[in-house]
Structure 1
Amino acid sequence: MDMTRKHLDFCIEEAGCLLWVAPRSLGGLSAAELGQVWMGGHREVTTEELVRRGAMMPLALYQDDGYVVRFILGDLNEQEAAEWTSRAIWKLDAPCGEILVSGVLTPDFQAEFATMVPAEANGSYWLGAYIAVPPGAYLVEIHGYPPGDLSGGWGTITEPRMFGAQPGIQPVKPLEYWRRTHPDETPPGWMADEPEEEGSYVDFIIRLSPLAGEMAKPALEEDGCLQWEFRKPDICPAGIRSTL
């Protein structure tokens, strides 16, 4: 499988406090059935079962804002690898050769699914879109980045009263964090609450690489969503500029 780095940035405008990825074949379910599973109305299948067999990766967000996604086949670059503040890792089985990325999953998902189109670089999509990939099984890493990390990872560093304390993460104010780790550099405008003329930032990176071997069972929330892993980078993130 050719995994030379390829990436594209696109925006999902509507998110119901959710980010999820799945093969467009939906693990053999119809779009209507997937909506039923998510709402707990399917008699035979649960969200947890879909996650464990690599048919879906749902992740909860603390807010329903839209977000910018960078989809990558290949390796993260140096900044992408250094600046993430949240992460979830699991697998997807995509024999159909298409990966769906969405922020919404409702009982009416059959109608929503019919509106989803192939993602293009710098495109904007109301509910979601899908990306063509070589058919196969993938290791999938989803990373969140400030300033728009809707997983709450950045908040655990800078606003622990709201987002909660995390083991191993020492809270700090953003500008103090920046000045300690970038002593001779001007902070980005978003950190200093100043207007910026350049474009948007990447909120989430979805990275696919070939799956090699079995994985340990993932940690799940009660609703079947994957649990986020949070961290405080050694150097204060500057934010990853999107091509949008």
Structure 2
Amino acid sequence: MPLSPSRIQRLALGGAAVATLAGVLLIWVGISGMIFDGSSGPAAARSPVPTNVPRRPPVLTEPADVLLRTFARPMNRSVPQAVYIPRIGVAAPLMQLGLDSRGAIENPPLAPANIAGWYRHGPAPGQRGPAVITGHLDTSTGPAVFARLDRVRRGDQIQVMRSDGSVAVFVVDKREHVAKKDFPTARVYGDVDYPGLRLVTCDGVFDRTAHSYKGNTIVYAHLVRAYHPPG
């Protein structure tokens, strides 16, 4: 069921639409539907860019079909520090993303390439609701953190290391490719009654005139385990 503009505004500080600039994800907040902007806009003060990745947590050994039927209870809020996607070899520190001076979600920086960003005004990974993590597809010099996000499959695990020492383990429910003009705002930002995770990056054909990719890859996942690694 589509969300009303006012509901979308509450969920994502005004709703969301997605644009990209040379692989940069830009989510612009708008009340009157989807707004696409090909420029990155002025940047607000960023949180520090982390450079280290905590020790990789172990991968759960349960079969994928079992994990897909497992739903863990919500965790308390804790700032995420790193995201791991074993299938595609991602082990990336997470920075916090806010809003820039225009009210758009900040983009992660282009350097270092192995950096992703968590939208801090939404749920933290493990909390009830849709936590959103974004990352670049590429930069002017090569692949970036989510260059292979389109290889993630249903049943794959995603691990998020949190600042309280806990690990939130998610299993992928689905992956979809969408045109930017059809970005599913309600599916990505709409409220859910379980701890969810959405990973978003660019994809599709690069429009050299608009300096923008024409599509997005979105991965949807839900929480299956919350634990503290020993030691």
Which TM-score bucket, shorter chain as reference? Answer: under 0.3
- TM-score, normalised on structure 2? 0.27
TM-score (norm 1): 0.26
Q: Which has the higher strand share?
A: 2
Structure label with greater radius of gyration? 1
